[in-house]
Amino acid sequence: MQRYLLTAVLAATVATAVITPFSLPALPNLITSPKTSSTPFPLGAARHPSRICVVDPEATDAGPALISAAHDCNNGGTVVLLPDTTYTITSPTDLTFLQSIDILILGTVVFSDDVEYWQTRAFGYAYQDVHLFWKFGGRDVNIYGLGIGTLDGLGQTWWTAKRSNETLYRPVLFGTDGLAGGSVSGLNMKNSPFWFNVIMNSNDVLITDINIWIEVTNSSSPPANTDGWDTYRSINIVIQNSTINNYDDCVSFKPNSTDIIVQNLQCNGSHGISVGSLGQYQGEYDIVEDVYVYNISMSNASDGARIKIWPGVPPNTTGSSSGGGAGYVRNITYELFHNTNNDWAIELTQCYFASSQEACNAYPAVLLIEDILFKDFYGTTSKRHDPRVGTLVCSDPSVCKNIRTENIAVSPPSAATAEWICTNMNEGLLDINCVAA
């Protein structure tokens, strides 16, 4: 594939196509606000404005062309995907070698929907069968779209294929694996086959101004598992100032997510902003700690704020992937949360997928929940559980400590007195109207 190094305003020719003079836009001035990380993000290295690598717009497969451009502009340059151009990636694209580089996506990146091909070619991970079309990693990397760049996963093909094959691998639209320092901003993301984003084994990353949505063209094959973001084995991540219209968790904190801020999101049609699920696998030790969720508008969702933990399993159970995992969820705050037509404003459970509350009580969760605050919740729930608006269920008081609510003003649509299911909770720490299940 041909690659071109351009000066900031130099015209270039790629095959028979002419690139008009290109002036490199400045990287947006990105800040975390209003909540800020306890650990400041590291400063990036200086970039060289004359080092611009344009990804060949005529490449049949944009994957190798993108890798080539990234090698050429690594250590101080900028890779550009041109506006008004569609780049199709048809092969796995490993971008985990990046160092002090920016990637400006002004065109549309489309991923081939050859379902059978990707079954054996996508980058695979053991955790929850995550697979990736492409993956980003390295150090000091900014990926930005200025509100113009678009990623399109052609999800309907995958959602339809899943109906006839439940074991089908469906790749995540965007993923990091080992990204240390940098940002992802100003991108449009649509029609992911599976989760939209997974942030894995990464640290010190700001994600901001992302627009996520889904277009269903076959109502008999709706989307499934289209989480907005999932964090996994990552620390010091900020996700903010974004709009998410999807069919699963708006954001989910998977095992070993620590020092996470999520703020200023508008979520619609989701399963809430969720801790977990955790404790699914025996022998695993899951941690989610120091998470701050602030200023969220959640509409038409199954849940607003959500913590989901698997219960324990009977003694001598082996090979189980249905609970019994150890670890803890600690120091989680949900503050300023507006609910519109959500089934539950808050759902906390240590009985996730338990056959009954009695079975959950018999084998309490091994994983501990402690130091949780739900503060300044308001709005109205859906009719589904009216007059009940939330549920807080622990498997045993010994593994559920210091869970508090403050200034909760959520109402059912009937305007009846709001009721909350509270099981094995210290009700003295709750300013809500607790009732039995």
**Which tens digits make up the pLDDT trace of 373-416?**
999 999 999 999 999 999 999 999 999 999 999 999 999 999 99
* Structural domain ending residue among the three candidates 195, 223, 242: 242
99 and 80 in contact (C-beta within 8 Å)?
A: no
- Does a structural domain hold residue 56? no
The total of other beta-carbon atoms located within 10 Å of residue 40's CB is 10
131 is catalytic: no
412 in the same domain as 387: yes
Alpha carbons 297 and 315: distance in angstroms, whole number? 42
- Does a structural domain hold residue 26? no
Alpha carbons 400 and 412: distance in angstroms, whole number? 27
- Does a structural domain hold residue 48? no
Helix (H, G, I), strand (E, B) or coil at 296: strand
* Structural domain ending residue among the three candidates 225, 242, 259: 242
**Annotated catalytic residue, options 48, 271, 338, 385:** 271
pLDDT of residue 437: 87
330 in the same domain as 357: yes
Structure tokens, 150? 């678009």
pLDDT per residue over 288-333, tens digit each? 999 999 999 999 999 999 999 999 999 888 877 789 999 999 999 9
**Residue 184: alpha-carbon gap to chain centroid:** 12
Proportion of the chain above pLDDT 90, given as a percent? 89
345 in the same domain as 416: yes
294 in the same domain as 198: no
Q: Which domain holds residue 291?
A: 249-437
Flag the least confident range among 2-6, 257-261, 340-344, 379-383: 2-6
- Report the pLDDT averaged over residues 15-32: 67
- Does a structural domain hold residue 203? yes
Helix (H, G, I), strand (E, B) or coil at 164: helix
137 in the same domain as 258: no
Q: Is 55 exposed, middle or buried (0-12, 13-18, 19+ CB in 10 A)?
A: buried
255 in the same domain as 236: no
306 in the same domain as 218: no
Q: Is 218 exposed, middle or buried (0-12, 13-18, 19+ CB in 10 A)?
A: exposed
Distance between the two ends of the chain, CA-based, in angstroms? 63
Structure tokens, 355? 């056959």
pLDDT per residue over 67-109, tens digit each? 999 999 999 999 999 999 999 999 999 999 999 999 999 999 9
| Radius of gyration, alpha carbons of the chain | 23
Query: How many independent structural domains does the chain possess?
Result: 2
The reported pTM is 0.94
Q: Which residues in 291-302 are b (16+ Cβ under 10 Å) and which e?
A: bbbbbbbbbebb
pLDDT of residue 22: 64
151 in the same domain as 283: no
Q: What is the CATH number of the domain that holds 101?
A: 2.160.20.10
**Residue 343: alpha-carbon gap to chain centroid:** 21
287 in the same domain as 224: no
293 in the same domain as 259: yes
- The mean predicted confidence, pLDDT, of the chain is 93
